[in-house]
Amino acid sequence: MALVRTLVRALLGGLLCVLGPLGCEVDSGPAMAVTQPSRATFVHEAGPILAARCGDYACHGNANRPFALYAVARRRLRAADNFTSHPLTEAELDANFAATTGFLDHDRPRDTTLVQKALGIGGKGGHKGGGVFAAPSDPECRALIRWISGEQQ
Ligand code: HEM
């Protein structure tokens, strides 16, 4: 009887050695680094590109979209200011910056949901807005990728 018990224990011990690491190794995919690119470069370069190319009312210029933007002559923070052309306020710029950085969900800029959607290859389920940029080499797409990676413009 003692011999059987020893054998069983040895077997179990061996199994745990083999399966243990495999068992708890959960592949969570690439690390979801949250990058915090420059707000200043966003205000001068990336933000105006996004407002112009994504900010239409039927697209991201409305509060129903998780990625919702304010833009000059389109949706404004104060409803009374909608469609007016004065420059975006600091509060609108803050909101656009927060909305955009919320989709920087990968440590490789072009693999972020923001860029993937803009390329129309986007994330889960593609992008109903289609491929706004034809390729990452598109000058505006490159400017977005540079901004995300923190490279000098
Ligand atoms: C470079 C410009 C654009 C970027 C970076 C962009 C980015 C995104 C992101 C991050 C999402 C997921 C979050 C959300 O649902 O709001 C999304 C979804 C969506 N976008 Fe855009 N978008 C752009 C242009 C457009 C345009 C021009 C349209 C309309 C013609 C549009 C229509 C939509 C729609 C309907 C969805 C929800 C369904 C889906 O996930 O595909 N987008 N986009």
Report which ligand 1 atom has the smallest distance to the Cα of 58.
29
Residue 125 is assigned to a structural domain of this protein: yes
Residue 17 is assigned to a structural domain of this protein: no
Could you give the number of structural domains in the chain? 1
Residue 21 is assigned to a structural domain of this protein: no
Residue 1 is assigned to a structural domain of this protein: no
Q: Tell me the pLDDT tens digit for each residue of 72-120.
A: 999 999 999 999 999 999 999 999 999 999 999 999 999 999 999 999 9
Residue 60 is encoded by which pair of tokens?
Answer: 């991201």
To test the pocket of ligand 1, the residue of 59, 121, 138 to mutate (highest count of ligand atoms within 8 Å of its CB) is: 59
Residue 82 is encoded by which pair of tokens?
Answer: 């909608």
Report the pocket of ligand 1 as residue ranges, CB < 6 Å. Answer: 50, 53-54, 56, 58-60, 65-67, 103, 113-114, 117-118, 125, 127-129, 132
What does the alpha-carbon distance between residue 46 and residue 97 come to, in Å, rounded to a whole number? Answer: 9
Closest CA to 40 of 150, 139, 114: 150
Residue 25 is assigned to a structural domain of this protein: no
Residue 50 is assigned to a structural domain of this protein: yes
Residue 23 is assigned to a structural domain of this protein: no
CB neighbourhood size of 107 (10 A): 15
Residue 77 is encoded by which pair of tokens?
Answer: 């923070």
What does the alpha-carbon distance between residue 114 and residue 94 come to, in Å, rounded to a whole number? Answer: 17
Host domain of residue 122? 39-149
Provide the phi-psi class of 41: left if phi over 0, else alpha when psi is between -120 and 50, else beta.
alpha
pTM here is 0.81
Residue 65 is assigned to a structural domain of this protein: yes
Q: Tell me the pLDDT tens digit for each residue of 38-80.
A: 999 999 999 999 999 999 999 999 999 999 999 999 999 999 9
